[in-house]
């Protein structure tokens, strides 16, 4: 029973959908959930077995422009981070390819865990380089890799990290 957990599921028959587990401890909400035959709670799972980004993004943009209402509001601090683990052994000097190619795959972590491990966000890796040996399955961090020199996205991320954490990784 933890709050702010980020997780995913893989395997045969698991659709790439979206799910959330919510704590409904308020008596009126619990009563309504029981009326809807959702069980006694206090935890309830809501699942949508699909994720239609090509439709959801334009609809969200339209709602913002037409009605001035956003679907989501950012939190004060990030709760999750999409990092990366090596798909194969990497050696110093290796160049990192793009997401979904041969060097690394995405790996989700809670933001505090990623920050403590000095994990490099997955979106900063393309064009970067390996600075120390990385074994297959190991986390890619600022201790063993570096974003591409002059990367605008890495520069913007450094500014965000300074605002959120008061420090910048190097």
pLDDT in tens, 152-167: 999 999 999 999 888 7
Q: For a pLDDT cut of 90, what percent of the chain falls above it?
A: 53
Output the pLDDT for position 25. Answer: 81
Q: What is the CATH number of domain 80-165?
A: 3.90.1210
Phi and psi at residue 6, in whole multiples of 5°? Answer: -115, 130
Domain assignments of the chain as residue spans, ordered by start:
1-73, 80-165
Average pLDDT over every residue of 109-120: 94
pLDDT exceeding 70 applies to what percent of the chain?
A: 92
Would you say 145 and 88 are in contact if contact means Cβ atoms under 8 Å apart? no
Q: Is the pLDDT of residue 151 over 90?
A: yes
- Residue 127: the pLDDT is 97
Q: Which residues contact 120 (CB under 8 A, 6 or more apart)?
A: 83, 84, 128, 140, 141, 142, 145, 147, 169
Q: Is the pLDDT reported for residue 67 higher than 70? A: yes
Asked if residue 4 lies in contact with residue 109, where contact means CB atoms within 8 angstroms, the answer is no
Give residue 57's pLDDT.
87
Q: Phi and psi of 47, rounded to 5°? A: -135, 135
HSE on the CB side for 156, CA within 13 Å?
Answer: 5
pLDDT of residue 15: 66
Output the six-digit token pair for 5.
């957990």
Query: How far, in Å, CA of 105 to CA of 119, rounded?
Result: 13
Average predicted confidence (pLDDT) for the chain: 89
Q: For position 8, what pLDDT does the model report?
A: 67
pLDDT tens-digit readout, 6-65: 666 666 776 677 778 888 888 888 889 889 998 888 888 888 877 788 888 899 899 999
């Amino acid at each position: 029973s933890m709050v702010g957990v980020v997780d995913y599921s893989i395997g045969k028959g698991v659709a790439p959908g979206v799910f959330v587990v919510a704590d409904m401890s308020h008596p009126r909400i619990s009563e309504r959930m029981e009326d809807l035959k959702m069980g006694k709670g206090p935890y309830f799972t809501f699942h949508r077995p699909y994720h239609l980004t090509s439709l959801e993004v334009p609809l969200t943009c339209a709602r913002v422009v037409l009605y001035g209402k956003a679907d989501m509001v950012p939190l004060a601090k990030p709760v999750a981070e999409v990092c990366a683990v090596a798909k194969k052994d990497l050696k110093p000097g290796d160049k990192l390819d793009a997401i979904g190619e041969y060097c690394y795959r995405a790996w989700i972590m809670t933001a505090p865990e990623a920050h403590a491990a000095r994990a490099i966000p997955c979106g900063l890796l393309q064009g970067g380089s390996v600075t120390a040996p990385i074994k297959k399955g190991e986390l890619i961090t600022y201790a063993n890799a570096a974003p591409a020199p002059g990367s605008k996205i890495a520069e913007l991320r450094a500014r965000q990290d300074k605002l959120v954490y008061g420090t910048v990784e190097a």
